[in-house]
């Protein structure tokens, strides 16, 4: 079953462009929290990488598809998610934490310590 599902998604992937996962992005003093929807993607098929300050999220859907199934209607028409974000330089990409549950990927991207906000006192001369 799993093997078959793998084959089905593999052939689909080459057909069309990728899906754009929907996200929520929140910035706090300590860093960013990015939540991305990757329904149908098992943990081992999620890829998160940072290169040249570009954060790329990728995931490949793996569904339990019975033998002989023909698709009759598809709103999710390709099996691969991909989306990239530019990170600003004050973020510490080596300390990104990732977790996943029920098809939702959560990333915490901390700010480098020296980049955390400081209140600047205005001196009155």
Partner 1 sequence: MYSTLFNFSDDLFNELENLQRHWVGRNILSNIRPVARGSFPAINLGSTPNSVEVYAFVPGVDAKSLDIQIDKNLLTLQGERVLELPKEDSKLTVYAQERFSGKFKRVITLPDDVDVSKVSATYKEGVLHISIQRREEAQAKRIEIQ
In the list 104, 108, 112, 115, the residue contacting partner 1 (rule: CB under 8 A) is 104
Torsion angle (degrees, nearest 10) of CA 58, 59, 60, 64: -170
End-to-end CA distance of the chain: give it in Å, rounded.
Answer: 76
Count of residues that interact with partner 1, criterion CB under 8 A:
38
68: its two tokens: 């002989």
Closest distance of CB 92 from partner 1, Å: 18
Instruction: Report the nearest approach of partner 1 to the CB of residue 124 (Å).
Output: 23
- Site map (CB under 8 A) of partner 1, residues 41-80, x = contact: xx--------------------xxxxxxxxxxxxxxx---
Minimum CB–partner distance for residue 125 and partner 1 (Å): 27
Q: Smallest gap, in angstroms, from Cβ of residue 94 to partner 1?
A: 22
Asked if residue 97 binds partner 1 (CB under 8 A), the reply is no
Asked whether 76 and 12 are in contact (CB, 8 A), the reply is: no
Residues 15-44 that bind partner 1 (CB under 8 A): 15-17, 20, 22-29, 35, 37-42
Rg of the chain over all Cα atoms, to the nearest angstrom? 19
Q: Are 16 and 77 in contact (CB under 8 A)?
A: yes
Q: What is the DSSP letter of 64?
A: -
């Amino acid at each position: 079953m799993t093997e078959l599902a793998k084959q089905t998604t593999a052939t689909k992937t080459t057909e069309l462009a990728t899906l754009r996962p929907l996200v929520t992005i929140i910035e706090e003093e300590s860093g960013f929290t990015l939540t991305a929807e990757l329904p149908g993607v098992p943990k081992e098929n999620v890829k998160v990488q940072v290169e040249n300050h570009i954060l790329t999220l990728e995931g490949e859907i793996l569904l339990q598809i019975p033998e002989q199934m023909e698709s009759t209607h598809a709103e999710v028409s390709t099996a691969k998610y991909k989306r990239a974000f530019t990170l600003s330089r004050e973020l510490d990409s080596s300390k990104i934490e990732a977790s996943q549950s029920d098809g939702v990927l959560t990333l915490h991207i901390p700010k480098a310590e020296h980049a955390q906000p400081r209140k600047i006192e205005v001196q009155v001369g």
